[in-house]
Amino acid sequence: MRHLEIVRTGPQCLVQDLGRPGLAGQGVTLSGAVDRRSLIQGNRLLGNAPHAPGLEVLLGGLELQPDAPVLVAVTGAWCPVTVDDTPAAFGTPVLVPSGAVLRLGTAHRGLRTYLTVRGGLEPLGAFAGSWSTDTSSGIGPAQVLATDRIPLGNQMLDPPEVGAVPPATAPAELTLRMTLGPRPADLSSADRSTLDRASGTIASNSDRIGIRLNGFELTGKPAGRPSEAMPLGAVQAPPSGELIVFLADHPTTGGYPVIGVVDARDLDDLAQCPPGTPVRFAVRPPPAH
Amino acid sequence: MTGDQPLTLRPYGARALLAEVPDAPTRRALTAWLESTEHSGVDIVPAESTVLLDVSDMSVDESTAQQALRRLSAQLRDLDLTTLPPATASSGSLHTIDVRYDGPDLTTVAEQLAMSTDALIRWHASTPWTVEFLGFMPGFGYLTRADHNREVDRRHSPRSAIPTGSVGFAGSYCGVYPRSSPGGWQLVGHTEHVMFDVHGTGATAAPNDRITFQAVR
């Protein structure tokens, strides 16, 4: 069996695929890559199934050695890539010879770099057909650490592509499209106008569970309701005044009011934005059903 | 069995719909009906007074998700709740779970339920509890019983680590912690029973299942 041998990791390195949808009724959240677009791009370059597991590398700083020649792609936040100290290409397939050291330097202008490998990664700990590590519940493989040996899979569909993708660049200011709901009438007109006009910033205690936003001081305190299930992207407004945009590892249920849901297309960008990034909302009314 | 108040359907982002239910029997009946009919790609996630209908698989594009939700909401609007068969205990599985009643809050819970600790143990382990819904963490079921109608207060200060298998009370619910977690429930005992199998089938219990606790020493 072919493996990647992990020599060194940065602050956080996780195996992620596209998660395990359909299990919220068991209390199991979606999980999966928080910048799904970048993982899918890497898998496409390599001819993998779009959901093949790769490494989600927070802030770079990864070093590994394959025990057989492997084709890899580095996507997401840009970082310097070297193979045995020789610069290698970002965003396009790169062949790493057996025993060579692949090194990802510090990420720039984004938080999360994705390393995909032809065939995908299949470490121990898969649950319900997914290799994603759910940081909130501990379901899935353990966090990737130095000396781990990660087996490679056979999750390919096509020959690798001759192509290149640009890095995922965190915007200087992010506008999140948000659909109001599930109870838009609970939002006071003052709060509604705050959401339209105010600008907030990403707080440093943000993670794969949720991105916390400071600066939107909502005044309305809707009546407490029993906990209920929440979809990906739900924006919770706890009494502390911050807003929490829920990402892949969010709890399946929550008891604080939810004011809206951020468009899935904007969550990939949000997951790349460092703390301090200014954020605005583009608010839309709920769809008619 | 179910109420005659209608459901309130609320759009919840572009990929989900929240059904507010008037009471628990309606929620149980609606959940059972939704589980028994074909709504491909739509997750059914009940909670105390709502059922979330969520197209959580992000590989399904937004317009397909909206189509599925529009179809489902039309069906729900036409649905006469009074004709839904009540979800009965026999529609779920029965699980027997051994409990050692050695929890640190056993006497507190007994006092709040106005029983002796011995009476609490006999009562808790007598007849089956019903799984209402799951949430909070993988495999955590909220359990009720018709004769449990007093509220148990949460602890003023939550414990930072409640051990795996702890059996506790909060509000009108009983529950078993499938793994260690911070929490404010009052603990009456613990079980070795695996409530969530990460190596296999996931959650032991599903909504409308029943759980009988059995006292062991």
Residues 6+ away with beta carbon under 8 Å from B65 = B14, B15, B41, B55
Mean pLDDT, residues A127-156 taken together: 97
**How far, in Å, CA of A138 to CA of B143, rounded?**
24
User: A21, B198: Cβ pair inside 8 Å?
Assistant: no
State the CATH number of the domain containing residue A194: 2.40.100.10
* Residue A44 pLDDT > 80: yes
* Residue B203 pLDDT > 80: yes
Q: Are residues A228 and A123 in the same domain?
A: no
* Residue B47 pLDDT > 50: yes
Ramachandran category for residue A240: left, alpha or beta (phi over 0 → left; psi -120 to 50 → alpha): alpha
Short-list A204, A176, A172, CA closest to A280: A176
**Chain A residues with beta carbon closer than 8 angstroms to that of B56:** 21-22, 24, 30, 231-232
Mean pLDDT, residues B177-197 taken together: 95
Phi, psi dihedrals of residue B15, rounded to the nearest 5°: -125, 10
User: B58, A289: Cβ pair inside 8 Å?
Assistant: no
Residue A165 falls inside a structural domain: no
**pLDDT by residue (tens digit) across A166-178?**
999 899 999 999 9
**Chain A residues with beta carbon closer than 8 angstroms to that of B133:** 25
Short-list A53, A99, A98, A62, CA closest to A80: A62
Residues 6+ away with beta carbon under 8 Å from B2 = B23, B25, B26, B29, B81, B82, B84, B86
Residue B1 pLDDT: 42
Nearest CA in chain A to B44: A25
Residues 6+ away with beta carbon under 8 Å from A99 = A65, A66, A67
Domain boundaries, position A117: 3-151
pTM for the whole structure: 0.94
CB of A139 less than 8 A from some CB of B: yes
* Residue A151 pLDDT > 50: yes
Mean pLDDT, residues B102-131 taken together: 96
As a whole number, the mean pLDDT across chain B is 92
**How far, in Å, CA of A210 to CA of A213, rounded?**
10
Contact A48, A120 (CB under 8 A): yes
User: A26, B62: Cβ pair inside 8 Å?
Assistant: no
ipTM of the complex, rounded to two decimals? 0.94
Confidence band for B2, pLDDT divided at 50, 70 and 90 = very low
Identify the residue whose tokens are 């839904």: B84
Residue A156 falls inside a structural domain: no
Q: Are residues A13 and A118 in the same domain?
A: yes
Q: Structural domain boundaries of chain B?
A: 8-83, 94-215
Confidence band for B83, pLDDT divided at 50, 70 and 90 = confident
Three-state DSSP at B98 gives: strand
User: B18, A227: Cβ pair inside 8 Å?
Assistant: no
Q: Are residues A137 and A184 in the same domain?
A: no
Q: For the domain covering B94-215, report its CATH number.
A: 2.40.100.10
- Number of domains chain A is built from: 2
**How far, in Å, CA of A53 to CA of A236, rounded?**
29
Nearest CA in chain A to B205: A26
Nearest CA in chain B to A32: B58
Mutation target to probe the A interface, by most A beta carbons within 10 A, among B7, B8, B10, B12 is B12
Mean pLDDT, residues A70-96 taken together: 98
Q: How many CB atoms lie within 10 A of CB B102?
A: 11
Q: Are residues A129 and A15 in the same domain?
A: yes
Question: Which residue has better confidence, B90 or B125?
Answer: B125
**How far, in Å, CA of B9 to CA of B94, rounded?**
32
**How far, in Å, CA of A222 to CA of A263, rounded?**
23
Dump the DSSP string for B139-161: T-EEEE-TT--S-BPPPSS-EEE
Q: For the domain covering B8-83, report its CATH number.
A: 3.30.1360.40
* Residue A211 pLDDT > 60: yes
Mutation target to probe the A interface, by most A beta carbons within 10 A, among B54, B172, B180 is B54
CB pairs under 8 A between A and B: 145
Q: Are residues A128 and A233 in the same domain?
A: no
Residue A166 falls inside a structural domain: no
